[in-house]
Amino acid sequence: MTMEKRSTSTVPAPLKPHTVKAPSTAAQPPISDRFESKDSSEQSERIERKGLTERSIFHEPWWLNATAGDNWHVAVVKSGDAIIAEMPYTLIKGGRLWRVSYLPAITRTLGPVIKARAKGSSHSEWRHRLDVTRKLIEQLPECAHFQQLADPRVSDAEAAAFMLAGFNVSVRFTLRLAPGANEDYDWARLDYKTRNRVRRAAEHFTVEEIANVDAFVDFYESNLAARDRGNHYGSGLMRHLLNEVMTRKAGMIIGAFDEDGSLVAATTLVWDRSHVYYLLTSRLESAHGGAVSLLVWRAMAIARDRQLELDFDGVATAGILQFLAGFGGRLVQRYEFEKIRPDYAIFRRLRTQMRPRAKARSE
């Protein structure tokens, strides 16, 4: 497997010195210019969407086109001719009888995007967001199961609107780290165990950019295969999305390389106007545990160079939280909205019970 190696990582003394690649100076085009309509009827609304500057990268139409194809739609609220709110959602068949709506593959969060209330409005901001969210919810289709994890910028008001509309509202968490003033400041934020892991890893590995998407996906899938697992995102979708990300200069793939030049761990980062997201990571089963720590350290430097907050992509287990807490940061809540029809809930439960039996028979 051929790797293209580029920039390397820096770590504070007494770690081995490396050079840092200069941050990209290419300005992100305005959201309205990046909007890629799915049909000609949406093309006329490109300029109107200019005010919706709170979109995450996962809300961008090009991202949704890559991850959901033709299976995504968007609820829209207007004030006059101007769009003041939108909420993308998917709609797919979950079997012959059901329509369901979930997050697209590799898409971490969605939820409502709402423009702040107009100056002089008699409504407070929370009442404005509550009323607008109700209008978005009214446009959502009837489906057997709706589930969506919202961007952390979605507030209590939007959550209240979903609760009042009969959705189950729960809370999940991610860890976010504000950009440090400099490398020494970031180093001081690490706890001593994390600093030791990064220091030891830097003695054995260098961190370099991987320009070849296929190299990353092949590495990702080979590590899954070694654990007797498959890529549930789909190889084709992952390659397509990451090529879109690289074409738009909306992310970077970095890898930890051993002294003999072999890749031992790799991570994909993506970014928007406000955050760098630690999106996908993979490592050899035999890799030194500090290799991933070194990649996180490099991700902190990339976020610092871009003056963006680093999002560690959710807290799924206590072990992950303990690992990420060593880099500093703060817990941030993300609302989840879910509504499931009773008949579909029964169907899902029966299907879950039958799968182990079917697997046992096949073996």
For residue 105, pLDDT over 50 is answered with yes
For residue 188, pLDDT over 50 is answered with yes
- pLDDT confidence of residue 363: 54
- pLDDT confidence of residue 290: 93
- Find, among 275, 328, 261, 263, the residue nearest to 297 by Cα: 328
Q: Is 258 helix (H, G, I), strand (E, B) or coil?
A: coil
Pairing of β 251-257 and β 309-311? unpaired
Lowest mean pLDDT among 69-83, 117-131, 245-259, 349-363: 349-363
- pLDDT confidence of residue 8: 40
- Mean pLDDT is highest, among 26-35, 174-183, 349-358, for 174-183
CA distances from 174 to 308, 316, 335 (A): 16, 9, 11
Q: Which of the four pLDDT bands, split at 50, 70 and 90, describes residue 244? A: very high
- pLDDT confidence of residue 122: 65
- Find, among 6, 52, 30, 56, the residue nearest to 302 by Cα: 6
CA distances from 78 to 5, 90, 136, 151, 261 (A): 48, 21, 10, 21, 55
Cβ burial, residue 165 (10 Å; 0-12/13-18/19+): middle
CA pair distance 178, 196, nearest whole angstrom: 22
Q: Which of the four pLDDT bands, split at 50, 70 and 90, describes residue 117? A: confident
Mean pLDDT, rounded, for 29-45: 37
CA pair distance 351, 358, nearest whole angstrom: 10
For residue 32, pLDDT over 60 is answered with no
For residue 103, pLDDT over 90 is answered with yes
Q: Name the H helices within the chain.
A: 31-34, 40-43, 61-68, 125-139, 156-164, 183-189, 192-202, 213-226, 235-247, 290-306, 318-325, 342-362
Mean pLDDT, rounded, for 33-42: 39
Q: Do 265 and 287 touch, CB atoms closer than 8 A?
A: yes
Q: Identify which has the larger pLDDT, 11 or 15.
A: 11
**Mean per-residue pLDDT over the chain, rounded:** 85
Lowest mean pLDDT among 59-68, 250-259, 346-355: 346-355
Q: Do 283 and 220 touch, CB atoms closer than 8 A?
A: no
- pLDDT confidence of residue 48: 36
Handedness of CA 329, 216, 15, 290 (dihedral sign): positive
Q: Which of the four pLDDT bands, split at 50, 70 and 90, describes residue 109? A: very high
For residue 249, pLDDT over 70 is answered with yes
The pair of structure tokens assigned to 313 is 């992509």
Cβ burial, residue 29 (10 Å; 0-12/13-18/19+): exposed
- pLDDT confidence of residue 357: 57
Cβ burial, residue 148 (10 Å; 0-12/13-18/19+): buried
Q: Do 5 and 212 touch, CB atoms closer than 8 A?
A: no
- pLDDT confidence of residue 51: 40
Q: Which of the four pLDDT bands, split at 50, 70 and 90, describes residue 93? A: confident
Q: Which of the four pLDDT bands, split at 50, 70 and 90, describes residue 9? A: very low
Q: What is the pTM of this model?
A: 0.83
Mean pLDDT, rounded, for 358-362: 53
pLDDT digits (tens, 9 = 90+) for 118-151: 776 667 999 999 999 999 999 999 999 999 999 9
Q: Which of the four pLDDT bands, split at 50, 70 and 90, describes residue 254? A: very high
Mean pLDDT, rounded, for 287-301: 93
